[in-house]
């Protein structure tokens, strides 16, 4: 660990490289976290199956490469398929847990996450898979090598995020979603079909996850059991940024990506997941300390 | 039949079954032993999850910690642990009987103590988190501990440790694990039965029903919550220590900290039986384990899918569980007196 730190000190260019890679990955984390914040904010459902939906999207891209297609073709397919799947999940499961206590939704989506990972495991097996994109890489200076696919995925993530933001601001459905998030009962009184809005929101979240999964499969690896770490990352980001705070989500996403890369380099790759998860505990502790301060003022 | 005599007759039936089982089904001794472990898990999970309203998804931490603590103590009595684990089974363990049994007893005690200490340290932080944050936080903690242990070379890292082999004749070992797990489950349940009948039990039920109000009434909520979690950690740690010896091999992700198997089994079992009831977790654990052992091998890999489906159906459609449903239907059998007076009907009418 100290060797790695001194290496980082002697060759700061490695640090720049790590931070840059973290930025690329963080964009995808931010996208997933935005989907979680959407569902959480609109219908108060904490979706623990978030990460498994990401991995499911990744397998759609992998399936496309099995059929000889380029994984980028899978992006629109994943968006459409996951939208349908999300709608189905809402009708079967989520509709019945929206108004219940929060642990119900947490446990139901945890069951859903087990279901998705096991079905993927049965179909594709437990090996690590990657959807080869075949894009090359480019060199900046003499040390920093950027794989083009990461750059493209950063751009795609940006485009997707922009599309979602415009949709939420401009479209009729986006307005209905925001109204429901503010006050579901008032929205219902004013003629919004909130059940429809909930279904749409959950389906939209599923397709965001699917799109993110395609990007993950191209720049990283996928495996049926990797989902839970993505769920935890999304929870870290949303808990750190707060609900309905889009700039916060983006900054927290980039921050988490960088932290993950740097800590993975410093402590060694075998502690990378532990570093991420411990981050969750720290963020929760920070929120706890904050709420204690508020309680002392308010009560 | 009053609730008290019902309780004692259930105890009598279960103990009679426990005594008879090794003779009636000698080939299934380890399966029934695992069933007692499941009962222990469900009952200890229900202490915080059902009675206190703090739904932990990471109680499996204590299970794994107990396992590792006992392994380190048992091996460390005779060998250097780091040397033993780095040899990857090249060192053949050769204990005499005295060494083995001293190690075993000390190991089980150490399992309970280490889990207790861990719960005392992290309890005040984790239990400050409310509702879903607690569930996610404990889940994250379990994943983090599993990852940290698999990166820790002293205890064998991801490769794991093989435990010392039981020195007696074949079959005697499984009987010993059977007795130990059965006794642990029984003592945990008796402890809970006593605990829930005291004022302490009322206090943690008050925390479940409305924590802010309980605090306003002068209950030191944090202290109560930590003590409850510590008690459940103590039993869980000893159970883990015994199970580590029973399985003979410890490995961090699949055996010691299995968040997606034992970690979720204990929640599912308590929910199936009815969480927040005294006998619900026991019933759920027995039912779950019997059905699981019967059907698992026929499902050919689909069993885990079935597990996810069971959890979803259970949570979404049948959340009160079997005993919760029975308690609503026949409250008198459970010693619950329900006053269906005019006040309640008028509230229902108003809604």
State pLDDT tens for residues B203-242.
999 998 888 888 888 888 889 999 999 999 999 999 999 9
Cβ contacts of A117 on chain B, cutoff 8 Å: 260
Distance, CA of B9 to CA of B216 (rounded, Å): 40
In the predicted structure, residue A298 carries a pLDDT above the cut 60: no
Cβ contacts of A273 on chain B, cutoff 8 Å: 143, 147
Q: Is A108 on the interface with B (CB under 8 A)?
A: yes
* Percentage above 70 pLDDT, chain A: 93
Within 8 A by CB and 6+ apart from A164, the residues are A34, A204, A208
Q: Judging by beta carbons within 10 Å of its beta carbon (0-12, 13-18, 19+), is residue A27 exposed, middle or buried?
A: buried
Cβ contacts of B125 on chain A, cutoff 8 Å: 285, 288
Interchain CB distance below 8 Å, B143 and A114: no
Cβ-based contacts under 8 A for chains A and B: 119
Pick from B57, B129, B137 the residue to mutate for testing the A interface (most A CBs within 10 Å).
B137
Interchain CB distance below 8 Å, B136 and A106: yes
Query: What's the pLDDT score for residue B87?
Result: 66
Mean pLDDT, chain B, integer? 83
Residue in chain A closest to B144 (alpha carbons) equals A274
Q: What is the mean pLDDT of residues A230-248?
A: 83
Residue B312, Cβ neighbours under 10 Å: how many?
23
pLDDT tens digit sequence for B3-24: 678 788 888 888 888 888 888 8
Q: Judging by beta carbons within 10 Å of its beta carbon (0-12, 13-18, 19+), is residue B78 exposed, middle or buried?
A: middle
pLDDT tens digit sequence for A153-196: 888 888 888 888 898 889 999 999 888 888 888 988 998 888 89
Interchain CB distance below 8 Å, A118 and B305: yes
**Domain hosting residue B282, numbered range:** 3-350
* Best CATH choice for the domain A2-298 from the list 1.10.3470, 3.40.50, 3.30.1420, 2.30.29: 1.10.3470
Pick from A107, A242, A282 the residue to mutate for testing the B interface (most B CBs within 10 Å).
A107
In the predicted structure, residue B346 carries a pLDDT above the cut 50: no
Query: What's the pLDDT score for residue B90?
Result: 61
pLDDT band for B113, please (50, 70, 90 cuts). Answer: very high
pLDDT tens digit sequence for A113-157: 888 988 888 888 888 888 777 776 676 666 667 777 788 888 888
Residue B121 distance to chain A (closest CA, Å): 14
Q: Is B305 on the interface with A (CB under 8 A)?
A: yes
Query: What's the pLDDT score for residue A100?
Result: 78
Query: What's the pLDDT score for residue B348?
Result: 47
Q: Is B55 on the interface with A (CB under 8 A)?
A: yes
pLDDT band for A59, please (50, 70, 90 cuts). Answer: very high
Interchain CB distance below 8 Å, B148 and A232: no
What does the CA dihedral B29, B32, B37, B42 come to, rounded to 10 degrees?
A: 180
Query: What's the pLDDT score for residue B128?
Result: 83
In the predicted structure, residue B40 carries a pLDDT above the cut 90: yes
Q: State both tokens at B74.
A: 């048992």
Query: What's the pLDDT score for residue B42?
Result: 93
In the predicted structure, residue A266 carries a pLDDT above the cut 60: yes
Q: Is A268 on the interface with B (CB under 8 A)?
A: yes
Q: Is A163 on the interface with B (CB under 8 A)?
A: no
Interchain CB distance below 8 Å, A270 and B302: no
Q: Which residue has the higher pLDDT, B169 or A33?
A: A33
pLDDT band for B25, please (50, 70, 90 cuts). Answer: confident
In the predicted structure, residue B293 carries a pLDDT above the cut 60: yes
Select the residue of B139, B148, B260 nearest A114 (Cβ to Cβ).
B260
Q: Is A46 on the interface with B (CB under 8 A)?
A: yes
In the predicted structure, residue B147 carries a pLDDT above the cut 90: no
Q: How many separate domains does chain B show?
A: 1
Pick from B215, B311, B320 the residue to mutate for testing the A interface (most A CBs within 10 Å).
B311
Q: Is B143 on the interface with A (CB under 8 A)?
A: yes
Q: Is A125 on the interface with B (CB under 8 A)?
A: no
Residue in chain B closest to A270 (alpha carbons) equals B151
Interchain CB distance below 8 Å, A106 and B304: no
Q: What is the mean pLDDT of residues A207-234?
A: 88
Cβ atoms of B311 and B325 within 8 Å: the answer is: no
> Please, what's the b/e burial string for A52-71 (b: 16 or more CB within 10 A of its CB; e: otherwise)?
bbbbbbbbbbbbbbeeeebb
Q: What is the mean pLDDT of residues B260-272?
A: 84
pLDDT tens digit sequence for B303-313: 778 888 888 88
Q: Which residue has the higher pLDDT, B271 or B254?
A: B271
Q: Is B216 on the interface with A (CB under 8 A)?
A: no
Q: What is the mean pLDDT of residues A88-104?
A: 84
Pick from A93, A115, A232, A237 the residue to mutate for testing the B interface (most B CBs within 10 Å).
A115
Q: What is the mean pLDDT of residues A237-245?
A: 80
Q: Could you give the angle at the alpha carbon of B198 between the alpha carbons of B195 and B201, nearest 5°?
A: 65
Pick from B130, B308, B309 the residue to mutate for testing the A interface (most A CBs within 10 Å).
B308
Predicted TM-score (pTM) of this structure: 0.84
Distance between the two ends of chain A, CA-based, in angstroms? 46
Q: State both tokens at B137.
A: 């936080």
Q: Which residue has the higher pLDDT, B83 or A198?
A: A198
In the predicted structure, residue A28 carries a pLDDT above the cut 50: yes
Q: Which of A57-66, B39-48, B88-97 has the lowest mean pLDDT?
A: B88-97
Strand pairing of B161-162 and B249-250? antiparallel
- Closest by Cα among B224, B106, B101, B226 to B166: B101
Distances (CA, A) of A156 to A32, A224, A230, B185, B258: 13, 24, 19, 55, 36
Q: Is B150 on the interface with A (CB under 8 A)?
A: yes
Query: What's the pLDDT score for residue B240?
Result: 92
Query: What's the pLDDT score for residue A85?
Result: 93
Q: What is the mean pLDDT of residues A210-216?
A: 90
Cβ contacts of B317 on chain A, cutoff 8 Å: 96
Q: What is the mean pLDDT of residues A98-105?
A: 78
pLDDT tens digit sequence for B71-82: 888 888 777 777
Q: Is B342 on the interface with A (CB under 8 A)?
A: no
In the predicted structure, residue B28 carries a pLDDT above the cut 90: no
In the predicted structure, residue B119 carries a pLDDT above the cut 90: yes
* Contact map slice: B 83-142 vs A, CB within 8 A: 125, 128-129, 131-133, 135-137, 139-141
């Amino acid at each position: 660990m100290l060797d790695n730190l001194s290496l980082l000190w002697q060759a700061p260019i490695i640090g720049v490289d790590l931070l840059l890679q973290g930025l690329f990955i963080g964009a995808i984390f931010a996208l997933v976290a935005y989907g979680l914040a959407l569902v959480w904010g609109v219908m108060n459902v904490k979706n623990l199956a978030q990460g498994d939906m990401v991995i499911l999207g990744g397998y759609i891209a992998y399936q496309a490469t099995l059929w000889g297609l380029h994984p980028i073709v899978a992006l629109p397919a994943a968006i459409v398929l996951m939208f349908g799947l999300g709608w189905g999940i809402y009708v079967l499961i989520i509709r019945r847990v929206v108004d219940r206590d929060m642990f119900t939704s947490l446990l139901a989506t945890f069951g859903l996450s087990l279901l998705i990972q096991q079905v993927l495991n049965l179909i594709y097996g437990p090996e690590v898979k990657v959807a080869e994109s075949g894009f090359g890489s480019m060199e900046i200076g003499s040390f920093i090598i950027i794989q083009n696919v990461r750059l493209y995925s950063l751009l795609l993530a940006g485009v997707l995020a922009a599309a979602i933001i415009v949709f939420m601001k401009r479209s009729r459905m986006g307005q209905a979603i925001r109204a429901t998030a503010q006050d579901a009962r008032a929205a219902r009184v004013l003629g919004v079909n909130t059940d429809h809005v909930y279904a749409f929101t959950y389906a939209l979240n599923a397709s965001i996850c699917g799109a993110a999964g395609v990007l993950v499969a191209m720049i990283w690896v996928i495996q049926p059991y990797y989902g839970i770490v993505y769920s935890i990352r999304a929870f870290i980001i949303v808990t750190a940024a707060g609900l309905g705070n889009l700039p916060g989500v983006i900054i927290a996403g980039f921050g988490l990506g960088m932290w993950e890369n740097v800590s993975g380099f410093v402590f060694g790759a075998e502690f990378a997941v532990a570093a991420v998860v411990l981050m969750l505990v720290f963020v929760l502790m920070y929120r706890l300390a904050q709420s204690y301060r508020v309680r002392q003022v308010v009560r | 039949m009053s609730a008290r005599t019902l309780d004692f007759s259930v105890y009598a039936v279960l103990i009679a079954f426990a005594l008879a089982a090794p003779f009636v089904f000698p080939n299934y001794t380890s399966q029934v032993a695992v069933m007692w472990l499941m009962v222990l898990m469900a009952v200890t999970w229900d202490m915080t999850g059902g009675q206190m309203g703090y739904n932990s998804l990471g109680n499996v931490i204590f299970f794994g910690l107990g396992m590792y603590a006992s392994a380190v103590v048992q091996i460390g009595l005779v060998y250097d642990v780091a040397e033993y684990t780095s040899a990857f089974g090249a060192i053949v363990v050769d204990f005499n009987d005295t060494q083995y049994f001293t190690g075993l007893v000390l190991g089980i005690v150490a399992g309970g103590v280490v889990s207790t200490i861990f719960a005392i340290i992290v309890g005040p932080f984790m239990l400050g988190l409310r509702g879903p944050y607690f569930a996610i936080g404990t889940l994250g903690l379990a994943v983090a501990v599993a990852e940290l242990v698999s990166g820790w070379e002293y205890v064998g890292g991801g490769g794991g440790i093989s435990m010392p082999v039981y020195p007696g004749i074949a079959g005697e070992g499984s009987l010993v694990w059977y007795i130990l797990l059965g006794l642990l489950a029984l003592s945990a349940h008796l402890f809970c039965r006593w605990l829930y009948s005291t004022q302490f039990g009322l206090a943690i039920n008050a925390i479940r029903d409305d924590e802010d109000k309980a605090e306003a009434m002068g209950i030191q909520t944090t202290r109560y919550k930590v003590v409850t979690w510590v008690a459940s950690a103590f039993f869980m740690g000893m159970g883990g220590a015994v199970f580590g010896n029973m399985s003979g091999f410890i490995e961090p992700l699949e055996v010691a900290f299995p968040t997606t198997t034992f970690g979720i089994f204990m929640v599912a079992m308590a929910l199936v039986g009815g969480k927040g009831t005294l006998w619900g977790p026991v019933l759920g654990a027995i039912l779950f384990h019997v059905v699981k052992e019967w059907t698992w091998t026929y499902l050919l890999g689909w069993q885990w899918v079935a597990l996810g489906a069971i959890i979803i159906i259970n949570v979404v459609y049948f959340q009160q569980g079997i005993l919760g449903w029975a308690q609503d239907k026949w409250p008198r059998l459970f010693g619950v007196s329900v006053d269906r007076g005019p006040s309640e009907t008028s509230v229902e009418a108003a809604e």
